[in-house]
Chain A
Amino acid sequence: AQKITQTQPGMFVQEKEAVTLDCTYDTSDQSYGLFWYKQPSSGEMIFLIYQGSYDEQNATEGRYSLNFQKARKSANLVISASQLGDSAMYFCAMREGRGADGLTFGKGTHLIIQP
């Protein structure tokens, strides 16, 4: 079974609209962390936001927020007021336990913002 599932291979959104990118995860660990990364066409991996499994409040970073629903094992990324520069691939990833053996990634969502 996949540990990280991103069900939206591609999305088209009008500029200035809010966007929700879906991510569900599967783990039996009590301690874990969820990450979102942005990969623009230039190829670098840009960290956006992090949510720990014990965090009681949803994480926010500027226009990014993480809608964390622990019981549903979902960690959706919300981008408010989308901009043309938000067009990119977006990856959800999970750290299990202390994370010494790295992150497990979903397959990504290709987001295109239309003017």
Chain B
Amino acid sequence: DAGITQSPRHKVTETGTPVTLRCHQTENHRYMYWYRQDPGHGLRLIHYSYGVKDTDKGEVSDGYSVSRSKTEDFLLTLESATSSQTSVYFCAITASGGYTFGSGTRLTVV
């Protein structure tokens, strides 16, 4: 599993509250990614990082921010969660040309 851990695995939160999802990797990979998966949309890129403090926006970045203060951790924050952000969130890394995904976080905003 390339040493990728996502936490929490499941979370229910209320509209308007801040939420932070964590992706932790143990193999010093430079590139890390956050995707969301929704029925009928496949996986869509939210943000990605190409090093400590180096991040960029993906296709669906509105309403999300990220931080990477250490190589091993890539945090995804929903500043004020909305029901449209109910989704399954995947973290991924790339190494040797391949991409490996974490187990996902199922987030429900009520």
Q: Using a CB–CB distance below 8 Å, which chain A residues touch chain B?
A: 4, 33, 35, 37, 43-45, 47, 50, 91, 93, 95, 99-108
A107 touches B41 (CB 8 A): yes
A105 touches B42 (CB 8 A): yes
Q: Using a CB–CB distance below 8 Å, which chain B residues touch chain A?
A: 31, 33, 35, 40-45, 48, 50, 56, 58, 88, 90, 92, 94, 97-101, 103-104
Q: Is the interface of B mostly helix, strand, loop or mixed?
A: strand
A99 touches B97 (CB 8 A): yes
Closest A residue to B31 by beta carbon equals A100
Among the listed A44, A50, A101, which residue makes an inter-chain contact with B58, where contact means beta carbons less than 8 Å apart?
A101
Report B90 CB to chain A, min CB distance, Å: 7
B45 touches A44 (CB 8 A): no
Q: Is the interface of A mostly helix, strand, loop or mixed?
A: strand
A107 touches B42 (CB 8 A): yes
A103 touches B99 (CB 8 A): yes
Among the listed A33, A43, A101, which residue makes an inter-chain contact with B45, where contact means beta carbons less than 8 Å apart?
A101
A45 touches B101 (CB 8 A): yes
B40 touches A107 (CB 8 A): yes
Report A107 CB to chain B, min CB distance, Å: 5
